[in-house]
Structure 1
Amino acid sequence: MIAFSRFTGYFNAIIEHGSIRKAADALHVSASAIDRQILQAEEALGAPLFERMSGGLRPTAAGEVFVALVREWQRDYRRALTQIDELQGLRRGHVDIAIIDALTQSFVAPVIATLAKERPGLTVGVRVLDNEAVAQSTASGDVDFGLMLNPRSMKDLEVRRSIDAPLGIAFRPGHAFEARKEVRLSQSLDERLIVPAAPLVIHEHVAALFRRSEIDIQRFMACNNTHMMRSLVDHDVGVAVLCWLDVASDVASGKLGFRKLKDAHVEPLRLHLCVAPRRQLSHAATEVLRYVEAGMRDAHTPRSISGR
Structure 2
Amino acid sequence: MHASVLRYIDQVARLGSIRRAASVLNVASSAVNRQILKLEADMGTPLFERVGNGVRPTAAGDYVIRHARETLARWQTIQTEITELSGDVHGEVRIVSIPAPIVRILPRAIEATSRLHPHITFRVIDAAPADHAEEMRARRPDVAILFIDRRHSGYDVAARIRLRLGAIMHPGHPLATRKELTLTECAAYPVAMLSDPWLLNAAAEAEFIHSGAQFRSVLLTNSLPMTKEVMRAGIGLGFFTPAGFVEELKAGELVHVPLVEQELQQSEIGLLIHRERQSWPAVRAVTSSLIEEFASLEKDVTALEMAKRRT
TM-score (norm 2): 0.63
Kindly report the root-mean-square deviation, in angstroms, between the aligned alpha carbons of the 2 structures: 3.7
Amino acid paired to 1:260: P
Query: For each residue in 1:193-242, what CA deviation from the matched residue of structure 2 results, as whole angstroms up to 9, or x when unmatched?
Result: 34444xx2xx2321222233234564421624233332322232222222
Q: Counterpart in 2 of 1:220?
A: 216
Q: Counterpart in 2 of 1:240?
A: 238
Distance 1:81 1:152, change over 3 A: same
Q: How does 1:109-188 map to 2 (within 5 A)?
A: 109-131=107-129, 133-134=131-132, 136-138=134-136, 140-150=138-148, 152-188=150-186
Q: Counterpart in 2 of 1:62?
A: 30
The structural deviation recorded for 1:278 is: 4.9
* CA–CA distance in structure 2, aligned partners of residues 100 and 232 of structure 1: 20
Query: For each residue in 1:243-292, what CA deviation from the matched residue of structure 2 results, as whole angstroms up to 9, or x when unmatched?
Result: 32343343245432212212334263211111234555213322221111
Q: Counterpart in 2 of 1:256?
A: 254
Distance 1:80 1:142, change over 3 A: farther
Tell me, yes or no, if the aligned pair for 1:157 and 1:276 is still in contact at 8 Å.
Answer: yes
The structural deviation recorded for 1:180 is: 3.2
Query: For each residue in 1:111-135, what CA deviation from the matched residue of structure 2 results, as whole angstroms up to 9, or x when unmatched?
Result: 2112222344544333333335445
Q: Counterpart in 2 of 1:38?
A: none
TM-score (norm 1): 0.64
Q: Does 1:303 align with 2:303?
A: yes
Tell me, yes or no, if the aligned pair for 1:195 and 1:241 is still in contact at 8 Å.
Answer: yes
Distance 1:83 1:134, change over 3 A: farther
Query: For each residue in 1:119-173, what CA deviation from the matched residue of structure 2 results, as whole angstroms up to 9, or x when unmatched?
Result: 4454433333333544544554433221112355433432222112321111112
% same residue: 16
* CA–CA distance in structure 1, aligned partners of residues 130 and 201 of structure 2: 18
Amino acid paired to 1:307: K
Amino acid paired to 1:220: R
* CA–CA distance in structure 2, aligned partners of residues 293 and 299 of structure 1: 10
The structural deviation recorded for 1:99 is: 1.9
Unpaired runs of at least 5, structure 2: 5-21, 35-67
The structural deviation recorded for 1:176 is: 4.1
Q: Counterpart in 1 of 2:94?
A: 96
For the residue of structure 2 that corresponds to 1:148, the secondary structure is: strand
* CA–CA distance in structure 1, aligned partners of residues 32 and 278 of structure 2: 28
Q: Counterpart in 1 of 2:63?
A: none
For the residue of structure 2 that corresponds to 1:97, the secondary structure is: strand
Query: For each residue in 1:72-122, what CA deviation from the matched residue of structure 2 results, as whole angstroms up to 9, or x when unmatched?
Result: 9xx999886444211x15141223322222222122101211222234454
Query: For each residue in 1:13-39, what CA deviation from the matched residue of structure 2 results, as whole angstroms up to 9, or x when unmatched?
Result: xxxxxxxxxxxxxxxxxxxxxxxxxxx
Amino acid paired to 1:266: L
Amino acid paired to 2:30: A
Q: Counterpart in 1 of 2:204?
A: 210
Distance 1:304 1:92, change over 3 A: same
Unpaired runs of at least 5, structure 1: 5-48, 50-58, 67-71
Amino acid paired to 1:292: L
Tell me, yes or no, if the aligned pair for 1:167 and 1:243 is still in contact at 8 Å.
Answer: yes
For the residue of structure 1 that corresponds to 2:153, the secondary structure is: coil
Q: 2:266 aligns with which of 265, 268, 278?
A: 268
Q: Does 1:193 align with 2:174?
A: no
* CA–CA distance in structure 1, aligned partners of residues 103 and 166 of structure 2: 18
Tell me, yes or no, if the aligned pair for 1:234 and 1:255 is still in contact at 8 Å.
Answer: yes
